[in-house]
């Protein structure tokens, strides 16, 4: 007798379906091809991006170098501008000092010229008085001539000083213009 339990055990054997296996294999092959195609496409894009990245990196390096050079140039320009400004200020200070000196000299020359003019007027007045007192005396003629020569010499000096005064006034005006610029 057969044991009932032994009958209950059944073994299931899969049925071999050749068409399903071929179809499944073809699906896998198509999927593999599609994946390979996608992979090749992605690798191509990746290579393109790497190439672009390298080009961009080279451009960045070049731009950094250009920036460094421009910064050096800018620093040089700023330094030169500062030097020029310092020189301009120094020149202005010197010009102002020269103007003050020339103005002082002009004022002194002006005072001296006025003093000489006053002296000349006094000498002329004195000469007139002396001429009136001694017009009748022939022996005093030499003395009067000497004073006249003195006056002529002083007048020549006044003319020279007036010419110098005019030159100084021109220099002072030019110095003032330079100071205003």
Tens of pLDDT, residue by residue over 66-111, are 999 999 999 999 999 999 999 999 998 998 999 899 899 989 988 9
The secondary structure of 153-166 as a DSSP string is: HHHHHHHHHHHHHH
> Using one digit for the tens of pLDDT, what is the confidence trace for 112-132?
988 988 998 998 898 888 777
pLDDT digits (tens, 9 = 90+) for 137-171: 656 677 778 888 888 888 888 888 888 888 888 88
Asked if the structure places residue 82 within a domain, the reply is yes
pLDDT at 68: 95
Residue 20, in any domain of the structure: no
pLDDT at 81: 94
- Asked if residue 19 is part of any domain, the answer here is no
- pLDDT the model gives residue 59: 94
**Angle at alpha carbon of residue 39, lines to 33 and 45, rounded to 5°:** 140
Whether residue 169 is contained in a domain is answered as yes
Per residue in 127-164, is it b (16+ CB within 10 Å) or e — as a string? eeeeeeeeeeeeeeeeeeeeeeeebeebeeebeebeee
Give the Cα separation of 3 and 60 in Å (integer). Answer: 87
Q: What is the DSSP string of 44-86?
A: HHHHHHHHHHHHHHHHHHHHHHHHHHHHHHHHHHHHHHHHHHH
Domain containing 91 equals 32-180
pTM above 0.95, yes or no: no
Residue 23 within any structural domain of the chain? no
- Residue 3's pLDDT is 53
Whether the predicted pLDDT of 1 surpasses 50? no
Count of domains observed in the chain? 1
Q: Is 42 contained in some domain?
A: yes
Query: How far is residue 97's CA from residue 140's CA, in Å, rounded to a whole number?
Result: 53
Task: Reduce the DSSP state of residue 30 to 3 states and report it.
Answer: helix
| Residue 70, domain member (yes or no) | yes
Structural domain contains residue 24: no
Using a pLDDT cut of 70, give the percent of the chain over it: 80
């Amino acid at each position: 007798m057969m044991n009932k339990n032994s009958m209950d055990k059944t073994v299931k054997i899969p049925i071999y379906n050749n068409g399903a296996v071929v179809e499944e294999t073809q699906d896998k092959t198509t999927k593999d091809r599609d994946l390979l195609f996608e992979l090749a496409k992605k690798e191509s894009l990746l290579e393109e991006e790497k190439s672009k990245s390298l080009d961009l990196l080279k451009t960045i390096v070049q731009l950094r170098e250009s920036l460094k050079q421009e910064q050096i140039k800018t620093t040089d320009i700023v330094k030169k501008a500062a030097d020029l400004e310092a020189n301009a200020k120094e020149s202005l200070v010197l010009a102002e000092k020269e103007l003050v000196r020339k103005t002082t000299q002009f004022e002194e020359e002006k005072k001296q010229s006025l003093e000489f003019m006053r002296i000349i007027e006094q000498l002329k007045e004195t000469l007139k008085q002396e001429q009136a007192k001694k017009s009748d005396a022939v022996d005093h003629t030499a003395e009067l001539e000497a004073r006249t020569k003195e006056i002529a010499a002083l007048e020549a000096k006044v003319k020279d000083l007036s010419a110098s005064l005019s030159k100084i006034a021109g220099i002072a005006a030019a110095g003032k213009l330079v100071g205003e610029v």
